[in-house]
Amino acid sequence: MPDVAVLVGSLRSGSVNRQLADNVARIAGDRLTLRQVPLGDLPMYDHDLWDDTPEAVTAFKEQVGGADAILLVTPEYNRYFPPVIKNAIDWGSKPMGANVWTGKPAAAIGATPGQLGAMSAVLSATQLLTIVGCAVMAQPSVFFNHRDDMHDSDGVLTDESAREFLSGWVDSFAAWIERMS
């Protein structure tokens, strides 16, 4: 079963995007193993830090580099993905010759309470993943319109049509990973 490194672009423990990532992991069942890689301990990218590489950076690069694929789950801040995602992608792409993104099958999805469901952030993140060398699945897209009535009190998705949609997306992503591997 493919091992997928999941990067959640919201640091807040109760974020709707963390809920989305958790629900996709539940729905994936025996098709994919989704493992969230922490981003909050990464320092802001500074090339000078390579002289004494922070442990958080080394651990991040090992986790992403060892994964079979990447799933980026992003909120939308001012019609863009948050800085924590850009920072993580920068750390993973450096130093020259040690880019952990190159050739990795990847996808970006996102959720917001708004009608467009993080569409701008997902599209921007998809472009950036392509630039650093990921083989990005562009379709089907997940621009998830988060509503509180879709979940139980623990954040578990109870809306059956949303579960079916995400299950179909997981099938597509699993097939994409297999095709790109």
Over the chain, what is the mean pLDDT? Answer: 95
Q: Looking at residue 14, what is its pLDDT?
A: 86
Q: Are 31 and 89 in contact (CB under 8 A)?
A: no
DSSP H or E stretch at residue 16: helix 16-28
Residues 96-149 have pLDDT tens digits of 999 999 999 999 999 988 777 689 999 999 999 999 999 999 999 998 888 889
Closest-CA residue to 28 (of 158, 181, 176, 163): 163
Range 72-94 average pLDDT: 95
Q: Give the rounded percent of residues in the chain with a pLDDT score beyond 70.
A: 99
Q: Looking at residue 90, what is its pLDDT?
A: 98
Q: Looking at residue 114, what is its pLDDT?
A: 75
Residue 9 has pLDDT above 80, yes or no: yes
For the structural domain made of 3-180, what CATH number should be given? 3.40.50.360
Question: What DSSP string runs through 102-169?
Answer: TT-EEEEEEEESSTTTTHHHHHHHHHHHHHTT-EE--SS--EEE--GGGB-TTS-B--HHHHHHHHHH
Closest-CA residue to 17 (of 84, 147, 111): 111
Residue 10 — very low, low, confident or very high, per pLDDT cuts 50/70/90? very high
**Strands 105-112, 135-136: parallel, antiparallel or unpaired by DSSP?**
parallel
Cα 55 to Cα 40, 43, 180: the distances in Å are 13, 10, 31
Q: Which pTM was predicted?
A: 0.95
Q: Which sequence spans correspond to the domains of the chain?
A: 3-180
Residues 53-68 have pLDDT tens digits of 999 999 999 999 999 9
Q: Looking at residue 117, what is its pLDDT?
A: 66
List, in sequence order, the alpha helices (H) in 67-106: 83-93
Residue 70 — very low, low, confident or very high, per pLDDT cuts 50/70/90? very high
Residue 37 has pLDDT above 90, yes or no: yes
